[in-house]
Amino acid sequence: MPIRNTPWPDGTPCWIDYGAADPQAAKSFYGSLLGWDWTEDSPEYGGYVNALKDGHQAAGLGPLTDPGDSPSWTTYFATSDAAATCDRIREAGGTVVVEPMEVGPMGTMVIARDPQGNPFGLWQAGTHTGVEVHNEPGSLAWNEAAVDDPADAQAFYAAVFGFRFDELDGMGGYATFATAERPLGGLGGIVPGAPKGWATCFSVASTDDAVAAVEAAGGKVTMAPEDTEFGRFAVVADPWGASFSVMEEPAGS
């Protein structure tokens, strides 16, 4: 099981969290689906909790701060200097919605939007370094964005994080992005059945079983399971309408 307990390199999707309309019900849904346990609610942090997979941090969950918002997953990118990254966001045409905010000793968070209005977060690690378990069933596998103008989005994220983009053959302009290391995520145009903006993909042992569990719990399938070179993939929505995807690695990988 890949485990990381040190800060992620700048630009890496390092954390995900869920804004819940009904936190207790959401914990039950995702805990059952992904095999998560939960840390104790902390009134100091507004009821925000961490999801644990086999004792390791996998994601966060908290109540929606604005009752008018819809439940959703947020992708956070690692930064070693939140203030400087905010400057680059503004210079590249984006908007900082929540200025750098210290979360006790755990780190500093930011919420921003790219020029096309897609929200994302920044996380400057303190004692909380982000996801500890990844690319294992029940943990984060991939983050990708579906946008109206991929070329414009590539220019923005390259300016902010220094991403290099590599378009994949036969994928309709879909590109992976990387910094100095392995591919970190993907970006492409709007795809029927998939949500606009940044999406979270979870690794699962069986995509078909995960899809069946989502439907049994009151969720919906928005893109039916299909086999790809990266694994068996599906897009679903939880019972509150929040979209995410699940992927089973190819046999023998």
183 and 119 housed in the same domain: no
Same domain, 121 and 166: no
Q: Which helix (H) or strand (E) holds 148?
A: none
**Looking at 103, 125, 147, which one is the last position of a domain?**
125
Q: 163 and 74 share a domain? A: no
Q: Are residues 190 and 240 in the same domain?
A: yes
| Pair (177, 74) in one structural domain | no
Domain boundary among 92, 125, 158: 125
119 with 146, same domain: the answer is: no
Alpha carbons 10 and 161: distance in angstroms, whole number: 7
d(CA 222, CA 210): 13
Q: How far apart are CA 107 and CA 36, in angstroms?
A: 23
In contact, 74 and 198? CB cutoff 8 Å: yes
Shared domain check, 93 and 50: yes
Same domain, 101 and 198: no
Answer yes or no: is 2 within a domain.
Answer: no
Q: Kindly state the percentage of the chain with pLDDT values over 90.
A: 83
* Size of the chain in residues: 253
Flag whether pLDDT at 186 surpasses 60.
yes
**Domain contains 146:** yes
Q: What is the pLDDT of residues 50-109, one digit of tens each?
A: 999 999 999 999 999 887 889 999 999 999 999 999 999 999 999 999 999 999 999 999
pLDDT at residue 120 in the model: 98
Residue 221 lies inside a defined structural domain of this protein = yes
What is the domain count for the chain?
2
Residue 128 confidence (pLDDT): 97
Regarding whether 176 and 120 lie in a shared domain, the answer is no
Segments forming the whole domain that contains residue 18: 13-125
Kindly state whether residues 119 and 179 are assigned to the same domain. Answer: no
Mean pLDDT of 144-168: 95
Q: Are residues 72 and 162 in the same domain?
A: no
pLDDT tens-digit readout, 233-247:
999 999 999 999 999
Q: Please, what sign has the CA dihedral across residues 66, 70, 73, 76?
A: negative
For 6, counting Cβ atoms within 10 Å of its Cβ (0-12 exposed, 13-18 middle, 19+ buried), the class is exposed
Please check whether residue 81 lies inside any domain of the structure: yes
In a domain, 3, yes or no: no
CATH code, domain carrying 209: 3.10.180.10
